[in-house]
Amino acid sequence: MRALYLLLGDPVAHSRSPAIHARAFELLGVDAVYAPCRVTDPAGAVEAARLLGVAGFNVTVPHKEAVAEAVDSIHPTAARIGAVNCVKRENDKLVGYNTDAPGLLRALEARGIDPGGARVVIVGAGGSARAVAWALAPHASQITIVNRTGSKARSLASLVRAAGCRAEAGSLQSLREATLIVHCTSVGLNSAEIPFDPSVVNGALVDLVYAPGGPTELLKRFSGLKVDGIDVLVHQAIASLEIWLGRPQLDELAGPLREAALA
């Protein structure tokens, strides 16, 4: 029987994940289909996925934290992050994982960016930002969280400090001193808006957002070393496939999956 995989989020119409996974299943000879589902009730969507017998699903904004509370069990790494973006059916139980963190680190490595000793600024404090912070905490010398809701920035900074890295909530002024900036909000997803002025950035820039027509306006205006959202999405997808299929080390798929995402 053909396996069913889903993408749960709101919005999802822009997502390149279906194209990425369709190509991956083709290359790997897996009989499966991957379908995007716009949902406004994440707990209800998890229950529906259970009843449909889905083999697994990805989770995108804004449901990563809510799904972490709705699955049957959660991998220790995802539990520490507090966000789930990958779920696998295991013995009729839905188990939550986080592949945003390894996806980011693999994308940085592929672009030749070493986070070791970096002064990091993370713009945003949602589920994706939590994964980014957790991924970079063992490597960075300092992480600053910038978010319009100060309480969320301070909460995420506390998580980073608990992981053993210096961290604080800050303002966009901290971008000037950063050696690595990661944009984790939805600004620029469906518009030409930019979350901050890229001319003040002196370090490398990662934009987790990707626009349907190509690079976001933020990346278009930035001339330095950068990683786009497609790079991170592809490596996150590979990490999800490794979990779902039990096939390690699928990084050789990165090139053709990026082509599929941009087609």
Catalytic site residue from 64, 88, 93, 220? 64
Radius of gyration, CA atoms only, the chain: 17
Q: 181 by DSSP, 3-state: which?
A: strand
Helix-strand-coil percent breakdown of the chain, rounded to 5? Answer: 45, 20, 35
CA 130 to chain centre: 10
Q: Which residue has the tokens 């506390």?
A: 158
Cβ contacts of 59 within 8 Å, gap of 6 or more: 7, 8, 9, 42, 67, 84, 85, 86, 87
DSSP state letters, 100-140: HHHHHHHHHHHTT---TT-EEEEE--SHHHHHHHHHHTTT-
Active site residue 88: no
The catalytic residues are 64
